[in-house]
Structure 1
Amino acid sequence: MAKLHSKLIWVILIALLVFVAYLYWMPNQHNGATRGAAAVAVKTAKAETKAMIRSISSLGTGIANNSITLVSPTSDFITELNVSEGKKVKKDEVIARLHDVEERARVTELEGVLTEQKRQLERLKNLANTQATAQSLLDEQQTKVNTTLAQLDIAKAQLAEMTIKAPFEGYLGLRQVSQGAYINSGTVITTLDDLHKLRVAFSVAEHYLAEIKVGMPLTVTNAAYGDINFIGTVSAVDTRLDPVTRTVTVHGMLENNDLRLRPGMLLNVKLELDNRMAMQISEKALVPQQQKQFVYTVDENDIVHQTEVTIGQRIPGWVEILSGLKEGDEVVVEGIQKLRSGITINRVGG
């Protein structure tokens, strides 16, 4: 029995010695591993000041700067038609003329009557100066002259309606009638578009309304011309928002002297909201913690330190740094998940 107790005591002592040795050996192994471990491989970049361009994209529709449909103001036969599809016309150039014999005759008749009435009026004025005629006759003749003048104005207006002119310089569209045809009032003759400048109408979310100003630069592309950029500016912002989509319609103006852009085109619009110099880093460098933002900076000994930063505007892939860093500071942009303050890093990649 005594031998059994003695053996048990030795077993317990040996177990205690093994446990104490284990406790001593593990920390040393850990510290040795830590001291001998390779530096963490990461990718870094430097904080730099460069142009920060914020923009929004939208789909727009091309609209002619000036665009009308030329219609007949009255009913009659077409005696002259100067419509060639795609033809450039100047302001006040005759597009079409209707049969206007009656209207011309009416104007000539009234001009003759007016001339005679004015002659009679002058005679009565001369007689009135010598008290040889009544004032009532003079007033009556003046009324006749005024009435004829009004009738002549109406006749001239009716005659003018028989000639359809271009109200501005532009390009004619497709011809809808033929010379010699009898057309009714309101019949479409052709279209006229001013294409030297093209407006683009597009919608912008209510969120950006306060930032949009007339004169802001915008860039337009179209599938027909690939990556070619057409440069323009914001020309107008609607005073109302769409209550359903909560968007505001914006118009931009583009120079189109080469006539490559046409009304009705689907246009990809990129509106530049802001363009300024700002210190920036890659968004991938940020380590959010609660309501704060941190980055890992690298010192001259290749040791990282967690640093709090204040951020400003964001653009795809980049973020503005307002405080916490200075120009040229090196930060970790890849491999952050393996880091903590005090760790040595090894730079990899470009």
Structure 2
Amino acid sequence: MNNSRKRRILIVTVAIIIAAIGSYFIKADYKAKQLAEQPAPTAIIVEMTKTKSTNIGTVIHAVGTIQSFSGVMLRAQIAGRITAVNVRSGSHVKQGTIIIEINPQVLAAQLAEAQAELKLTEFEYQRQKKLYDRKVISLEQLTTAKSNYLINKAKIVSAQQSLDLASTKAEFDGQIGLINVEVGDGVDIGQELASLEVIDRLRVEFAIPQKYIKLVKKGDKIDISSSTEGNSPSHIGTVYAIDPLLDEGTRTASIRAEVSPKGLIPGSYAEISLMLDDKKPALLIPQTAVIHSLYGNYVYKVVGGKAKRTVISLGERQANTVIVTKGLQAGDTIVSAGLRKVSDGALISMGQPEKNTPPQPSKT
């Protein structure tokens, strides 16, 4: 009885094991058929580029101010009443143009009086000289007549200079700014009347750290962009002067460069880029290839047809490229565009990605 029962239990157990094994193989075969029926994974279309080493120089970024080559504030040189304003604000004037007159009539009358007195003293001096030659008068009388003549001669020079000061003239060709006075206004010595600027020649002044000063020389080219132009193209300037003295507070040296006046306004803010002649090997990649995150910057390097997330360290930016200081080597292939759908390990293929595929880098 016991043997018969044991035999039945053994048969049932063997049957269960056989059923389980059969079920396993049936399911495995079903899954294999499903996988076989699934389409092969599609490669993501991206743009790729090979990194290469290029010799480039250090780029200094600075801020500066656009200035006119010549510019003055016209001020009253004598006290008095404005009797004439001969030009309008914003006018172009030639050198020597009388811009503002400060009651010159009184000074002109004083000059005429001095000229009349000079004629009298000159006549008296010549008469006394003849009398002295004939031994009629003493040397003292002749000396007095001569002194009166020279004094009146000096008065004419003084009166002429005062009359010249009454007329504010343009010292050079340029453009008048806003005129601050009107006819009838009383002014004091040194009071601001108007500005005069040369706007057909401009310069930009900026400062660089002392460690770069020996690398800058006259004739170097600089890149200039001004906030007054929005997204307009930058301008090229030429360095023409370098201050030999450093600022003791900032340890910087001032530099001036000439720039075309087209589109620039004196007094405006400018961004400066100056490339130094200290070229050294550097690895450049497109800025579009870099993804910025809270955990650092990275790119997708192409390894065996797949994207590999690679952390990198960045240096200076150069226009649309950026220097890589760590993480890549020359000759590496990286994804340069079409990054939006790329992930670590994704199958990728060279092609033209959609225009809206590049990600928007987040600044950290």
120-129 or 207-216: which moved more? Answer: 120-129
Kindly report which structure 2 residues correspond to 1:118-157, keeping only aligned pairs within 5 A, or say none.
118-157=122-161
- The question of 1:332 aligning with 2:331 is answered yes
DSSP 3-state at the match of 1:200: strand
Structure 2 counterpart of 1:231: 236
- The question of 1:267 aligning with 2:266 is answered no
Structure 1: distance between partners of 2:63 and 2:70: 21
Structure 2 counterpart of 1:246: 251
- The question of 1:317 aligning with 2:316 is answered no
The match for 2:204 among 200, 204, 213 is 200
Structure 2: distance between partners of 1:122 and 1:318: 91
The answer to whether the Cα contact below 8 Å between 1:55 and 1:274 also exists between their aligned partners in 2 is no
Between Structure 1 and Structure 2, the one with more strand by share is 1
Cα deviation, 1:13-53, whole Å, max 9, x if unaligned, reads xxxxxxxxxxxxxxxxxxxxxxxxxxxxx9866778xx745
Cα deviation, 1:156-188, whole Å, max 9, x if unaligned, reads 121112111111111111121111222233322
Amino acid at match of 2:71: S
Amino acid at match of 2:234: N
- The two structures have a TM-score, normalised by structure 1, of 0.63
The answer to whether the Cα contact below 8 Å between 1:62 and 1:267 also exists between their aligned partners in 2 is yes
Determine what percentage of the aligned residue pairs are the same residue.
23
Cα deviation, 1:252-283, whole Å, max 9, x if unaligned, reads 12232x4x21122111112232288x8x5636
Structure 2 counterpart of 1:191: 195
Residues 164, 203 of structure 1: CA spacing in aligned structure 2 closer, same or farther, 3 A cutoff?
same
How far apart are 1:221 and its partner, in Å?
1.1
How far apart are 1:243 and its partner, in Å?
2.5
How far apart are 1:334 and its partner, in Å?
5.2
Amino acid at match of 2:233: I
Equivalent pairs counted in the alignment come to 252
Gaps of 5+ in 1: 1-41, 285-313, 320-329, 336-347
Gaps of 5+ in 2: 1-47, 286-316, 335-348, 352-364
Structure 2 counterpart of 1:213: 217
DSSP 3-state at the match of 2:160: helix
- The question of 1:86 aligning with 2:87 is answered no
The answer to whether the Cα contact below 8 Å between 2:99 and 2:168 also exists between their aligned partners in 1 is yes
Residues 283, 164 of structure 1: CA spacing in aligned structure 2 closer, same or farther, 3 A cutoff?
closer
Backbone CA RMSD of aligned residues: 3.1
- The question of 1:160 aligning with 2:164 is answered yes
Structure 2: distance between partners of 1:230 and 1:44: 31
The answer to whether the Cα contact below 8 Å between 1:242 and 1:248 also exists between their aligned partners in 2 is yes
Structure 1: distance between partners of 2:72 and 2:49: 61
The answer to whether the Cα contact below 8 Å between 1:64 and 1:197 also exists between their aligned partners in 2 is yes
- The two structures have a TM-score, normalised by structure 2, of 0.61
How far apart are 1:212 and its partner, in Å?
1.7
Structure 2: distance between partners of 1:333 and 1:246: 41
